[in-house]
Structure 1
Amino acid sequence: MLVLFFSAATLHAQEKYLFVNINTEYDEQNPVLSPDGQVLYFTRSNHAENAGGVLDKGDIWYSELMPDRSWSVPKNARRLNNKGWNAVLGFSSDGSTIYLHNHYTEMNNRVKTQGIAKAQRRTGGWSAPEDIDIPYFKNLSAIQGGSISMDGKVLVLSIESYGTKGAEDIYVVLKKGNDQWGEPKNLGSTVNSKYQEFTPFLADDNRTLYFSSNGRGGKGSSDVFVTQRLDDSWTNWSTPQGVDEVNTKGRELGYRLYEGFAIYSSTISSDGYSDLKIHTDRPLDSIIVVKEPEVKLDSGIRIVEAGKETLVAGPAITVYGKVKDVNTQDHIDAIVTIEHKDHDFKKEVATADDNGYYSLSIPAAGIYEVRIDAPGYISKRETLDVYTREMKLVEMNYELQPISVGTTVNLKNVLFQQSTANILDTSYEELDLVADIMKQNPSMKIRLEGHTDNRGVAKHNQRLSKKRVEAVEEYLVKKGISSNRISGKGYGGSKPIADNEDPELRKLNRRVEFTIVKE
């Protein structure tokens, strides 16, 4: 008994540390691991960041496994959520497809019906969910639960539908071939009671079923039970038995069995509603394995000519990083484009929807232009000089300014011949970027502002800064931007942003900026 006590105490301590960033005063339920075990998805209710705000009954959130075997601070999986109740059903065995509870086809901003949907893993994260057609699907309950089998051919669902024995019952849906599914079939009265059955999980053998119920007695308001399928009818089951090692006087839901451990949710010792729990008789470091990130490099250089991409021999490096909002520091959906200065290489990639990261391979030496575009944000471009063929990884993180009235952007790469308003050729790429932003946002208006340092005659500096503003405006008009959308003023040296006494800092005062005056 003493050994058991210390084992339970150790597990509780490990469990608390494992989920320290996940369990909150909100309701955390329906934990599902990605096939590689590195990302934990779960449903969180009534959080302000949910698609429907604090009234939202549940959004999908995710957390990544960190080197110390704890889970990272969760983030909302925005692309997988709508204002309905959202949860992960499971994955294809290779992790390329995620199956979801709910339908995503909306009419007047309201989901027409519950159901099942799926999304595909893309370079930039998950694709937009697509509804799956299941004949005669109906769910009168506010929520549903379930899982998909490892082979992707069986769905077990907790719904209130045709032929229900009580409230929510467990049904099976079998795949007929391709993307065709049969109609839901009730598992029968051995499994289903006159009360509620929740969150069914079908083990890898496609015969062992775990589920929660409040209609079979047990230790608390809702306990986990297990039963075995006795033939191929899907209605002949062994008498369900309580999984006593996890059941408490509280409410246990969402039990899922993995190799050497199970995860589920419970209201016992929680921070508010349900918290995520783990059950295992092994040390955590023996079952939770942090995988080293794989860096996949191209076997050559991809050359883009006339819109066609060709692979040629040569070394490559991986450029990676994260794109964030400069104010909130949240990751954003963006497109990162890298192009060689000689225009013989061009490649673009979207940031991952679930964490804002991007990565792509480029030739291992050369000078490149990096451009970052995101809807609702000021685009950015920078020069990347890969000076050695020995480099394998280059990290480049970016922060973008949102397009909003009052936002000021310093055009650092717009330069002029000394003491003149003649724009240097190296400035055109940045000015072209400004023109692109204004074309993408046709209602946006800007005010150009020219500045100098404080050397020389103040009146001359003010006149020079005004002429430089006029030169920039003239260039933007030539690029197709209406002059009605641009105003400007020269300030001379009256608004320094750096110390004019320091020769190195003084040059920062010689600048052209624009401020958004209308979105």
Structure 2
Amino acid sequence: MANFVADAQVHGHSITGDWRKGIMPSWLFFIPLISCLLSPLSSLAQDTKARELYAQSIKLFGERKANEAIPFMEQAVKQDPNFADAHLKLGQLYEFTKRFDPALDAYRAAIRLQPDSPASGAAYQSLSSTLLRLGRYSEALPYLEKFQTLFPPKSVQNQRIGRQIETARFGQEALLHPQPVDPKPLSTVLQTTPSQYFPVLTPDEQTLVFTALKPEGDEDLMIATYNGESWSPPISLSSGINTNDNEGTASLSADGRLIVFTACQGRKGYGSCDLYLSRKTGSDWSTPENLGPTVNTHHYESQPSLSADGRRLYFVSDRPGGKGRRDIWRSDLDEAGTWSKPLNIGGPVNTPFNEASPFIHANGQSLFFASDGHVGLGGYDLFVADSLASTGQNTGWSTPTNLGYPINTSEDQASLFVAANGTRAYYSFEEQKEGVSQRSRLYVFDLPESLRERVKPVSFLKGIVADSRSKKPLPAMVELIDLKTNQVVSRVQTDATTGQYTAVLPSGGDYALYVSAPGYLFKSLSFDFSQPAPADRNRSSGTGIAMNVPLERAVSGTTAKETLNNLFFESTRYDLADKSRTELDRISAFMKTNPTIRIEIAGHTDDRGDPAANLLLSQKRAQAVVNYLTKAGVEPGRMQAVGFGKTRPAVPNSSDENRQLNRRIEWRIL
């Protein structure tokens, strides 16, 4: 997993140790203890020779010659085995040079000399912290419990050690119940730079964007595509987005045409790191725009995550008003294209410590994030929380759940991306040699069943919107409406050049989807995932549906017509069901926007039942629609209702599915 640190500006990895980029090397974790090597002695040796060797070792370390300092400190403890401070400093030198087993032995030696003295606190702290970082929780626990007794129960030190004890106990239990995961490298084709990390994908998992660290130390955003069998070699996302400075931690909308990313250098911004946005039209990305002073401040803003429709943004900031050091915040895009004042998402997600790398799943309900404030296996762990709004409760989040071992380990975990179908997860794994980070690679694994149950999968609809006659691609709006609440679930714009669109279809609901463009009849589609039938199993499990959408021009004297798929009636009745309001109000709005147009509302049935009764029923259903529109303010003279019964089937009445298609209401321009 990635060695994530809170002070990282762009990607948060400790791969190169290049401080200029805000990438803190992992050994800085030990600086508070290693600095003791240069501080006044806490205890003096009785042996003069031991003191001289000790002093020479300290001098060499001050000259950044740690390896040369070790033999002198080793001789000091041999000269005087009761020299407790020399044992401690020797352990810290070993630890500094990544020689962990000798370091542990040295710390234990220091503790054995004064096991009940507060003077041994530094040795207890160094020993237990090293054991925790190595994932040796059972060994760390007794030392931590003893260490804690050296401080008053309500002291800051006691509480800090108490958190480490929680980590040791949690880690001990997690190792006994590992998650069944088997990470695999994503593809060697993607490994064109020393390191790759922070992957994000479109819902079809065919477009991948990730941050790449180049040999010269520059970070850029790269893109690759999947053809069903293999990944293409990655290329620069855009020369207009990537610069000689660092760009990273990107987030994509579901259609892959809106990106928000972090930049910390080179661009004119508001703070140490800012968020930028770019839109794709055709094959070109727009010049990145700073999200502005409402989202960006003179503080730190980074690690963005967009909702599927690109209208909600989660990110990390240390701005005032938060719950901890770095918190997760949220901002929404309004109809005018303005980002709202960010809201802190609060507890129980945010803690008094650090949260990082939020990822909102395409379902809009599952929030994955990294934290060093919740109990975990040490450092930053990955967690998931569920939106309470999806359960009908007030806004907020459920208590976060640790993703478990080995997704989390004693090392820091940076981020996780979970596919729209909820079956696969992508992340970066940082390879190490002798405790030193070497490179980071992209990996994928199947999400364990226990986590799949937490992540509600989504389907997606993708295709091209075009004029039905000329076949010319159209800039159109695609909107998904919850028929139960009449609320917009998502709203996306097609590519103005290609007409392409991708819309996410959440499971567990009854939805209307509308495709509309000025001067055209809107297309009405219906998706019922509230009670999945056998035919819907593939959809409810999160697969994609490919569908091109031809739109009919709204011109008088043509044969333009569309089926209104979101009008609902009880069997053999003509009373409009309440969830028909969404469709009816949309027709009403269309009529008011196009005041010169006249329409015909036509009712149709299948071939079952008495033909005369069917004819009457179809007429009454059409008239019910006209009556509603009249009450909504549409002039009656602009509409006519007609019933055709079974006489004009759309498809042969050869199956129940076909008969359902024939029971319909159509509208056409007169």
- The two structures have a TM-score, normalised by structure 1, of 0.45
| More helix by percentage | 2
- The two structures have a TM-score, normalised by structure 2, of 0.36
| More strand by percentage | 1
